[in-house]
Amino acid sequence: GIGQFSMMCAKNNFDITYFDLDGVIKKYALWRFNKHNCNVKIVSDFPLNEKWDLVNVMDVLEHLENPDEVISLLNQNAKYIFCNPDQIPYNLIYPQHISKFDITKSFELVDGFLWKNKNLD
């Protein structure tokens, strides 16, 4: 996305890695990081096989053809995720939402949009 979450985390001294597909939105996020002097690591391929404390996949999985592959990798490598599966509308107004997904097999809701991995501590 536009990097708001990444900026907030970076301003609070978290180590942040940002990934998005190339395009106008990513260019805008990079411009914002530079403008606000945010120390954010930018990657062109998302390293899902690395271990992560938290991965923000808010408004992401519903746009993937096979979200279960990513959920499986997150299950192996992310202690927590931010995700909003119950807020995703699926109807004619949102044709970009191409897949429904279920993260409850791997993650349990902590509060709000924060989910804890059932398999990693």
CA–CA dist 56, 48 (Å, integer): 12
Query: Residue 24 pLDDT more than 90?
Result: yes
Strands lying side by side in the sheet with 52-56: 52-56, 78-82, 114-117, 107-111
Q: Is 32 left (phi over 0), alpha (psi -120 to 50) or beta?
A: alpha
- Across the chain, mean pLDDT equals 90
- pTM reported for the whole predicted model: 0.83
pLDDT above 80 for 47: no
pLDDT at position 40 is 92
pLDDT tens digits, one per residue of 57-113: 888 888 889 999 999 999 999 999 999 988 888 888 888 888 889 999 999 999 999
